[in-house]
Amino acid sequence: MRRSWPLRWARNLLGALLPPSLQAELTRDLGNYFLSFVFAGPIAALLAIATALTVQSMAALFFAGLALAGFGFVISACSAVRLPDADVDLEDVESRYVLGTIIVAVGIGGIVTVVLRGPAPVFAQAMAVMVALATLGAANGTGPGRPLIALVQFPAISLPIGLSLIRHWPAPWGIGTGVGVLVFGLLCVAMARRAYATNMQLLLAREAQAAERQRLETAVHTLSQAVTILDADTRVVAVNRSALDLLGVAPIDPANPPTFAELLADAPNLQKAAGNREEFLGHAAMLVGTRQAFNAAMHLDDHRVIDVECQPVPGGGWVTVMRDSTGERNAIAELNREVRRCPVTGLPNRRAFMEELDQRLVRSDRFVLLLVDLDGFKQVNDRFGHAMGDRVITRVGFRLRTADPGLFASRLGGDEFAILADGDDAEAAMALARLLIEAVDQPARFGDAEIQVGAAVGVALSPGNGTVGEDLLRAADLALLSAKGHPGSHVCLFTPELKLLSARNAGVDSRVRAALRAGNIDVAYQPMIDLETGQVVALEALARWQPDGGEAVAPDELVRIAEARGLVATLRRLVLEQAAAVVANRDPSLNLWINASVHDLRQPGMVDEVLAELASAGLAPHRLALEVTETALMTDEDACRGNIELLNRLGVGVAMDDFGAGFSSLDRLRRLPINALKISGSLLSGAPGKAAATDIFRVAASLGHSMDLMLVAEGVESREELELARAAGIHRVQGFALSPPVPANRISDAIAMAEAAALAGLRLRAAS
Ligand code: C2E
Ligand code: CA
Ligand code: CA
């Protein structure tokens, strides 16, 4: 829209119009001047009327009436906006005020002109001028946003006064005063313009600031994150919906904002029980004091965790952002659990176990560490595959964990488990160990397969056997080694002697393992004579290992290490391979007897392996017999039964070795499907000539007879012992008196020697 030039001129002169919102504010501001105008207006009007009456001029009286009416307008305008929220037409109020001041200016200006022109008393003239100047000043004071008023006041008041003074009082002081009044009037116009411009700028800046704040508040309120803005004293300046919802608090009263601490103190959602709030606030107070940014976690009653981040704002104040981090924390916790859990069994893994162990040691708890190692797990893996192995391990893990509710059961890896239990009573610990073995050693069915694995347990007590994790583990490990090295015991409690023993064996142990793995095991053969025919009917294969340049290691030791390290099957394979090949090449009436460990005999795939080895060597199954020691066989009777029955069906003989060295109950002996008894050399040794010892030997022999078993006397060292054996009805004999075990290349000599010795001995008997 194009404006006409006078309007444009006026606009240029007055400056840009105020935006409506600021204009409204300016108009409302008039309410503050109400009282001043109520007092000053009528007084000024009355003085004007009094002056008019004094000079007795109708014109003056008219102008005084005009001034009175003008004041009326002004007062009514101010009165309308006296109350801040009055519902009025502000435009109307503003025009009433401007109109009123203009009328007042014209009225006062008129009186002054009339009074100064006519023959008026000096005091009336002075009064008129004073009232006019006062009006000029007062109206000017309220008009910094209204340059129009100043513009009207100049021609209406300043110009008539100035001109009248110059004209009617042509004395130097009159002219000076007149000029002064004119200059003052012009200055008022200029000042009004300046003030208007400044005021306008100020108001515009304020409005921009308010708009900025409004935008910020809108942004904060629409943020999905929970945000609070605090001032330097941590009073809440703004808080958004999300924050209120999170804390469960009502919107704050902007007139009386709480501090952040008070806001939290009132928050119903914030967990009170945990004392977390107090902790957080204490922490926060300290950091607020030093104006440092800080993070904290708060716990809500519904178990959510909230991260609070407080950032100081440069120049004072704080911004806090609260974020629900429950999901993340849960994920991290889950991850933490995951890295501490065996993925197969779901049990705590080695890491979790070590942490638990350390905690118990730090707390100086009294507890038992039980290391559990499975027997024959490797064979399960070899025979049924790793998937089945995993299922077996999982089942075992479950059985261990549920054996007693108070246990901390973990899987260290492979077929090794670690159990922690409260208390440090040795008896109770051993009972628990046996309970664990019993729990593991139960057949488990997986589809068609029934699998049974055994276990050995090493037990160590804390603080008795160690107060450091490493020591305690080492103690339990030594006990476990010892438990595995003594077939039939399965459980061993750590004793300091084990440590000495282990130090001595450490070197041998690793070298034996290496030899077994490399297959560097030799076999010695000891002939077995049939007393009926005096012929060698079988060779017993005995494992031999002699390190390069070193002393030969006792076979018992070799076997113990192989058992402890899960290498018995390897040992049996090495011995059987060589011996079967050797015996297959000899007379078909010659049989092979080999020693088997129960650890081996209880393995599900063991018989198949033996058959395969026999087949590859070309030795018929009926030419083989397995010897298993009495003590081991008795404790593992059930586990071995299946394989023994299978061997029987295949024609492979099974002999109980070292009979008489243990304490077999007759009952159990009868139940086992064995074919032969090898009576321990310890029963025979030194027996001849001693009635009691001779009786024992005879009883052992008659026991065997009563069960219809083939009887073998081993360890026959003299003709007397040979004679005793023969007299007791023993079928076969073995021993140094006939032939010691010899290497494969001397078998023929040994056979000849044994048969010769037997012949001599029998002849001796025949002669006597
Ligand atoms: P064993 O099965 O009772 O074997 C007989 C042991 O007595 C052999 O000791 C043999 O050398 C020894 N011996 C033979 N005749 C006499 C005698 O007249 N007097 C005396 N005092 N001893 C005699 P060796 O070879 O040291 O074997 C010790 C044990 O090691 C064996 O006892 C057997 O239990 C075990 N063993 C040996 N080889 C193997 C094997 O390949 N596998 C398994 N599982 N165990 C084996
Ligand atoms: Ca034997
Ligand atoms: Ca024996």
- Any domain includes 500: no
CB 632 less than 6 A from any atom of ligand 1: no
Token output for 658 = 């070292």
Angle at 532 between CA 531 and CA 538, to 5 degrees: 60
Of residues 316 and 272, more confidence is placed in 316
pLDDT at 653: 96
d(CA 748, CA 750): 5
Q: What is the pLDDT of residues 484-540, one digit of tens each?
A: 877 667 899 999 888 877 766 667 788 888 888 888 899 999 999 999 999 999 999
Q: Which ligand has the nearest atom to the CA of 552?
A: 1
User: What distance in angstroms lies between residue 658's CA and the mean position of ligand 1's atoms?
Assistant: 10
Among 19-23, 399-403, 555-559, the range scoring the smallest mean pLDDT is 19-23
Ligand 3 midpoint to CA 627 (Å): 8
Alpha carbons 523 and 568: distance in angstroms, whole number: 15
**pLDDT for position 9:** 60
Which residue's C-alpha comes closest to atom 37 of ligand 1?
A: 542
Q: Give the separation between CA 227 and CA 311, rounded to whole angstroms.
A: 11
Determine which residue's CA is closest to atom 32 belonging to ligand 1.
556
> What pLDDT is stored for residue 276 in this prediction?
64
User: Do 467 and 535 sit in the same domain of this protein?
Assistant: no
For 361-415, list the strands marked E by DSSP: 367-375, 408-413
Nearest Cα to 724, choosing from 700, 680, 694?
694
- Supply the CATH number for residue 705's domain: 3.20.20.450
The response to whether residue 557 sits with its C-beta less than 6 Å from ligand 1 reads no
Average of per-residue pLDDT across 422-436: 94
Same domain assignment for residues 534 and 626: yes
Print the domain residue range for 402.
345-494
Pocket probe mutation, ligand 1, options 629, 654, 714, 742, max atoms within 8 Å of Cβ: 714
Is residue 1 very low, low, confident or very high in pLDDT (cuts 50, 70, 90)?
Answer: very low
Number of domains in the chain: 4
Residue ranges with strand state E in 328-407? 367-375
d(CA 590, CA 588): 5
Residue-wise pLDDT for 154-189, tens only, equals 888 888 788 877 877 777 877 888 888 888 888 877
Computed over every residue of the chain, the mean pLDDT equals: 85
Examine residue 136 and state whether it is found in any structural domain, yes or no.
Answer: yes
Determine, yes or no, domain membership for 613: yes
Residue 681 resides in a domain: yes
Residues 720 and 575 in one domain: yes
Q: Quick check: CB of 555 below 6 Å from ligand 1?
A: yes
Same domain as 169, residue 241: no
What is the per-residue pLDDT for 171? 79
d(CA 285, CA 373): 56
Q: Is residue 669 part of a domain?
A: yes
Residue-level pLDDT at 627:
95
For residue 524, which atom of ligand 1 is closest to its CA? 25
591 compared with 174, residue with greater pLDDT: 591
Q: Reply yes or no on whether the pLDDT at 424 is more than 80.
A: yes
| CA of residue 734 to ligand 3 center, whole Å | 10
Question: Quick one: residue 729, left, alpha or beta (phi over 0 = left, psi -120 to 50 = alpha)?
Answer: left
Residue 506 to residue 511: CA distance in whole angstroms: 9
Percent of the chain scoring above 70 in pLDDT: 92
Same domain, residue pair 646 and 722: yes
Select from 207, 233, 267 the last residue of a domain: 207
Please say if the pLDDT value at position 389 is more than 70: yes
- The residue whose CA is least distant from atom 6 of ligand 1 is 715
State mean pLDDT over 213-221: 84
Task: Give the single-character DSSP code of 157.
Answer: I
Distance from residue 713's CA to the centre of ligand 2 (Å): 11
CATH number at residue 451: 3.30.70.270
Measured distance CA(276)–CA(670) in Å, rounded: 71
Pairing of strands 653-659, 624-629: parallel
- Residue 606: inside a domain, yes or no? yes
556 touches ligand 1 (CB under 6 Å): yes
The yes-or-no verdict on residue 768 having pLDDT over 60 is no
Which of 295, 329, 363 marks a domain boundary?
329
Distance CA 391, CA 377 (A): 11
HEC profile of 35-80: HHHHHHHHHHHHHHHHHHHHHCCHHHHHHHHHHHHHHHHHHHHHHH
Q: What is the CATH number of the domain that holds 274?
A: 3.30.450.20
The CB of 145 under 6 Å from ligand 1? The reply is no
Is 317 domain-assigned?
yes
Percent over 90 (pLDDT), the chain: 32
Q: Is 715 in the pocket of ligand 1 (CB under 6 A)?
A: yes
Same structural domain, 197 and 253: no
Looking at the structure, tell me whether residues 159 and 202 fall in a common domain: yes
- Residue 3 confidence (pLDDT): 45
Question: Is 100 within a domain?
Answer: yes
pLDDT of residue 487: 61
Query: Does residue 552 share a domain with residue 663?
Result: yes
Tens digit of each residue's pLDDT (9 = 90 or more) over 592-607: 999 999 888 888 889 9
What is the average pLDDT across 280-299?
A: 76
**Environment of ion ligand 2 (residues, CB < 5 A):** 595, 627, 657
Question: What is the distance between the terminal CA atoms of the chain, rounded to a whole angstrom?
Answer: 156
Q: Which ligand 1 atom sits closest to the C-alpha of 629?
A: 34
Index of the ligand 1 atom closest to the CA of residue 680: 3
Tens of pLDDT along 452-487? 888 999 999 999 998 888 889 999 999 998 888 776
Q: What stretch of H or E contains 29?
A: helix 20-29
Residues 531 and 427 in one domain: no
Instruction: Residue 242: count other Cβ atoms within 10 Å of its Cβ.
Output: 21
State the Cα–Cα distance between residues 561 and 339, nearest whole angstrom. 34
Q: Which of 595, 677, 683, 733 to mutate to test the pocket of ligand 1 (most atoms within 8 A of CB)?
A: 595
Check pocket membership of 577 for ligand 1, CB cut-off 6 A.
no
Looking at the fold, whether 545 and 634 belong to one and the same domain comes out as yes
Same domain, 659 and 557: yes
Query: Using CA positions, which residue lies closest to atom 46 of ligand 1?
Result: 595
Q: Are 35 and 108 part of one and the same domain?
A: yes
Domain finish residue from 173, 207, 241: 207
pLDDT at 764: 60
At residue 651, does pLDDT exceed 90? yes
| This model's pTM is above 0.75 | no
